[in-house]
Structures are given as C-alpha cells and as structure tokens.
C-alpha cells in the first residue's frame, strides 16, 4: 500500500522509534508523516485505516545484503537481481537496503554501479545505493572474500572509483590498517559511510581509523581482530569508542546470542542489525551453498545468512532478551542515523517518510506501507 493521500492509521500498537504508544493515530499525507495524535482527534480530511490491534513500526533498513529470492546481485549484475532482493527485503519488513558487493575486480564494481543507476532509472524502489565490501581488506581476515582481488588502495584508483560512483556508491567496508590516512580522509570527504571490517587491526590501528572519522564497523566479531586482554583489537576499539557504531548478524550462527547480549550491554544504541543475507549460487567466483539455516562456501566457510530483518528483530527479543521497541530501533532508527542524505527514515514522527511495517505478535509481516 502507498500513502499518497491523507490517511490516519488507528488501533495499532505504535513503535515510533521513541517509545511504545497505544490509543493514538499516525497521520500521513503524500508519503510523509504529519504526526501522532490521540485517536479521537483526527481531522475529517483523513481516511481512517484500522490496524486491528497489530504492531506498526518504521519500516526496517538493511545496510548489508547481497541478494534474495534466489538471485545474487554480484553474480548476475542485473536490475532483476536488485528487484528480487527488494522483494526479499519487503518479505522481512524492510523497505530500504544497501545492495552489497563483496571483494571483486574493479571492473565488476564499476559494472555494479551502472546497474544500480539503471535500476533507479527504471523506477526501482527501496535501493539506497551500493555498499562495496572490499577490495581494501586485510587478507588475514578475508573470510569468504576472494584473496586474489584483495589489495591495498592506491590514490589514483580510489579517485577513479569515487568519480565513477559519485551518485551510487554510498558505503564501503575497509580494513583501516591497510589504508593510508589520506585514503580514509578522501572516502569520508566524499560522504561515504566508511565501515571498518575484514580487519586485523590492533587497538592503536583501529583507534587511528575511528579518530579520523570512521563512524561504524561491519558485522561485529566476524572477520575482525578479537578482544584479548593484552591486545583488545578491533572489537575492543569498538567497545571503547563511544562514537562508533557496529552492525551485527543476529542469527545465532555468525555470532552466539550471548555475545550479542554482552555487546548490546556494552554498545547500547551503537549496535544495529544487518542480515548479511545471500542467495544460493552454484557457479562463478562466489558459490554460496544453502545449509538449512546459513550459507557456506564449498569448503564450509560461513559466507552469509538466511535472515530477514524482522527475523533478526525476533531473535533479539526471543533469544537475546532485548525489548521489542529497542530491537526495532536496532533495525531502523540506528542504521538510519548513518544515512546523511535521502528520505528521513527510521522514526514515526512529523517530517519522516511514511514507510511502515505492520506485523503481528508472531513477527509475521501483515502489510508494508510505503511512501
């Protein structure tokens, strides 16, 4: 459903990003939220939409997803693959996503940028931009990434990528210890979301990157230097820096639920959810084999999740013990804080996009309401 008319959503449990409210109505008009009012104070201009006691929250946001519904973007590099990923996102309560490409040749990254542009040109919805995960990673922590394509960045190449991707490249994961200070500054100056990941950084190296302005990190614990008593590494640097966010894959496979619980206590509002989801691919440079609850490379290396964003929220509530309103913020409000341009997302308040997920108490998506 879209919200290009004056609609008041009533009789729902509202998770606004600020708190939980009942007995209220969400007022929307032309794709924007006008506010939340008492349910008995709705002007006559609004059409009433009764939510039947269901939950309504800001639609979810996934900053790291590779594919969905059987299609992997980097394997196909087609607008159909992005559309399939969008439909997969919607099935899990997510309206906006960052299509992600793992380490590959520069030529493939550039082709991916062209396909993103074409998707938008065709009127494709939901896509925030391209997330390049690599190639400027630490080979020691490559995980499922292609070793032959991992490299240290050179200024000329980075400048070329930034020029080619100026309208579509929105996020990049780098290992900060592999990048000169001027490279990190250049990426930040171009308003990319720079994320520290696939890194074997020492505490000092990680701190250097964060002090330069790196605002977040990629899939906490996975493919990063561990917290140890004499060398706290990347995990320790994330814990210790009150400005730095981190994504986490809350499937109980990438990270044990107890580790997520401990990290949530430490990081608070700085921890947010991603799916890191892939689709099964049995050919090409990245082969992802479905193992029932995860994807692996042919050699058994963990290569991606089968999560949806709402399933990650459900896991946070049922497996980790996080309150529902906070788990929803981890999937919408907190990732939205990293987005500096585009629509205002992640909260139900005046001036924000009227993008909502309506779901029941079993975490089943009942309806997506999109601006």
Q: Are the beta carbons of 100 and 131 closer than 8 angstroms?
A: yes
Q: 234 in helix, strand or coil? A: helix
Tokens for 302, please give them.
Answer: 């963990």
Tell me the C-alpha distance between 136 and 152, whole Å.
5
- Give 175's Cβ-side CA count (13 Å radius): 27
The DSSP call for residue 219 is: S
- String of b and e for 221-250 (b: at least 16 CB within 10 Å)? bbbbbebeeeebbbbbbbbebeebbbbbbb
The DSSP call for residue 264 is: H
- Give 348's Cβ-side CA count (13 Å radius): 34
- Annotated catalytic, 276? yes
Tell me the C-alpha distance between 151 and 175, whole Å.
10
Q: 178 in helix, strand or coil? A: helix
Burial tier of 293 (Cβ tally within 10 Å: 0-12, 13-18, 19+): exposed
SS (H, E, C) 100-150: EEECCCHHHHHHHHHHHHHHHHCCCCCEEEEEEECCCCCHHHCCCCCHHHC
> Which is the catalytic residue, given 276, 293, 299, 355?
276
Tell me the C-alpha distance between 97 and 365, whole Å.
17
Contacts of residue 252, Cβ cutoff 8 Å, sequence gap at least 6: 315, 319
Which residue reads 């998707």 in tokens?
Answer: 119
Q: Are the beta carbons of 117 and 103 closer than 8 angstroms?
A: no
Tokens for 359, please give them.
Answer: 């779901």
Among all residues, which ones are annotated catalytic? 276
């Amino acid at each position: 459903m879209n919200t290009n008319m004056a609609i008041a959503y009533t009789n729902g449990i509202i998770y606004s990003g600020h708190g939980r409210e009942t007995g209220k109505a969400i007022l929307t008009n032309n794709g924007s939220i006008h506010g939340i009012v008492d349910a008995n104070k709705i002007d006559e201009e609004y059409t009433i939409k009764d939510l039947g006691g269901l939950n309504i929250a800001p639609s979810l946001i996934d900053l790291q997803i590779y594919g969905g519904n059987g299609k992997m973007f980097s394997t196909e590099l087609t607008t159909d693959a992005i559309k399939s990923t969008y439909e997969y996102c919607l099935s899990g309560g997510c309206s906006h996503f960052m299509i992600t490409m793992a380490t590959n040749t520069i030529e493939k990254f550039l082709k991916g940028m062209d396909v993103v542009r074409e998707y938008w040109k065709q009127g494709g919805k939901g896509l925030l931009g391209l997330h390049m995960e690599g190639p400027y990673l630490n080979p020691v922590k490559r995980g499922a990434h292609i070793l032959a394509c991992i490299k240290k960045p050179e200024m000329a190449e980075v400048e070329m990528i930034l020029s080619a991707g100026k309208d579509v490249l929105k996020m990049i994961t780098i290992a900060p210890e592999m990048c000169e200070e001027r490279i990190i500054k250049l990426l930040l100056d171009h308003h990319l979301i720079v994320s520290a990941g696939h890194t074997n950084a020492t505490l000092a190296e990680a701190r250097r990157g964060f002090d330069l302005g790196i605002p977040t990190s990629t899939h906490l614990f996975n493919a990063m230097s561990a917290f140890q008593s004499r060398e706290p590494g990347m995990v320790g640097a994330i814990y210790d820096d009150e400005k730095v966010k981190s994504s986490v894959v809350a499937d109980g496979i990438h990270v044990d639920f107890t580790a997520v619980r401990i990290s949530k206590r430490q990081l608070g509002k700085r921890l947010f959810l991603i799916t890191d989801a892939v689709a099964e691919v049995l050919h090409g440079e990245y082969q992802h084999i479905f193992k029932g609850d995860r994807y692996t490379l042919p050699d058994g290396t963990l290569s991606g999740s089968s999560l949806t964003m709402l399933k990650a929220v459900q896991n946070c509530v049922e497996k980790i013990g996080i309150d529902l309103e906070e788990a929803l913020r981890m999937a919408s409000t907190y990732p939205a804080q990293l987005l500096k341009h585009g629509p205002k997302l992640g909260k139900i308040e005046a001036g924000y996009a009227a993008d909502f997920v309506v779901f029941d108490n079993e975490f089943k998506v009942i309806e997506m309401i999109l601006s």
